[in-house]
């Protein structure tokens, strides 16, 4: 078993850190809101610390799952940051969805400290984190990945090294691009069924068994039909991710017309007050339009 620190106890990080403790690892946590760290320590029997640097002292692996590029820099850099407190040879595993640029920036900063840095964004949402069945896509050096993989498996269904530093983040962009189109297509199908006077549940029972079937259809169609959008990844976070995808596409020459369009549809959902609705709320936009 390893000494592990987990930085960030949001809806993803809290259960992920819990799986590490349940797997027998010695876990210390840090969260900007100390009360959340105290609650986690009380529930899972681990420790918490006041700063990232204090939390990572003597640790073998540091896992992070925070909000965005700036949040990740904040927990990594500076006198109170994780890199200041990590020992040479330790491995930092970043589960945040961030830009490829900040990943490579922190990979270099970690190397200067003798620390390995693996970008390892996840897919599977809050339910995947709670059930320990996340898909983890990684970028970085092979020895660091191979050292960290047995620890990551505490909350992963699949964990794969895709390539060098940044490859994990680029793969997560592929994931978000695919999801954006899928959710819009499902929203249009359900909206069309309703307008045509069909029972959406009957429709999905049939079409889900054919080529139209998907995770989104299997797990979200009922709540979409019922107008319930409190089931995971928020629209605000999806727009953050799609912004990263579109910015990266501008740089590498990729054409993402559907992604750009769906990003604007999510902007419309935000204008409806759906900032914290889950990503399946695209159907609400269609229904509101009549």
Structure tokens, 94: 């970043």
> Would you call 113 a catalytic residue per the annotation?
no
Q: Name the DSSP letter for residue 87.
A: P
Catalytic site residue from 153, 172, 267, 271: 172
β-pairing, 91-94 vs 122-123, is: unpaired
Structure tokens at 178: 């695919």
Tokens 């990729």 appear where?
254
- Residue 59 is classified by DSSP as -
φ, ψ (nearest 5 deg) of residue 51: -140, 160
Phi, psi for residue 61 in degrees, rounded to 5? -135, 140
DSSP secondary structure of 161-211: EEESTTHHHHHHHHHHHHHHHHHHHHHHHHHHHHHTT--HHHHHHHHTTTT
Q: How close are the terminal C-alpha atoms of the chain, in Å?
A: 57
**Catalytic residue numbers, as ranges:** 172
């Amino acid at each position: 078993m390893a000494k592990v620190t987990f930085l960030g106890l949001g809806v993803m990080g809290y259960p992920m850190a819990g799986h590490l403790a349940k797997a027998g690892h010695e876990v210390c946590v840090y969260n900007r809101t100390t009360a959340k760290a105290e609650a986690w320590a009380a529930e899972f029997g681990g420790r918490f610390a006041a700063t990232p640097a204090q939390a990572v002292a003597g640790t073998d692996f540091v896992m992070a799952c925070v909000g965005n590029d700036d949040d990740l820099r904040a927990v990594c850099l500076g006198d109170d940051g994780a890199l200041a407190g990590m020992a040479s040879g330790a491995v930092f595993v970043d589960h945040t969805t961030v830009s490829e640029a900040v990943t490579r920036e922190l990979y270099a900063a970690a190397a200067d400290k003798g620390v390995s840095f693996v970008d390892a964004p996840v897919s599977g949402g809050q339910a995947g984190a709670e059930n320990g069945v996340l898909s983890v896509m990684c970028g970085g050096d092979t020895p660091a990945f191979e050292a960290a993989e047995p620890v990551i498996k505490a909350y992963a269904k699949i964990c794969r090294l895709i390539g060098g530093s940044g490859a994990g983040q680029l793969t997560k962009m592929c994931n978000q691009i695919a999801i954006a189109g899928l959710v819009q297509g499902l929203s249009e199908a359900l909206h069309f069924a309703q307008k045509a006077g069909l029972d959406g549940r009957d429709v999905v029972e049939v079409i889900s068994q054919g080529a139209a079937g998907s995770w989104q259809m299997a797990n979200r169609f009922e709540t979409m039909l019922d107008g319930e959008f409190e089931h995971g990844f928020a629209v605000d976070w999806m727009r953050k991710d799609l912004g990263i995808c579109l910015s990266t596409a501008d740089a590498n020459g990729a054409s993402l017309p559907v992604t750009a369009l769906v990003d604007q549809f999510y902007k419309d959902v935000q204008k409806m007050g759906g900032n914290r609705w889950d990503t399946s709320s695209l159907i609400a936009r269609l229904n509101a339009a009549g």
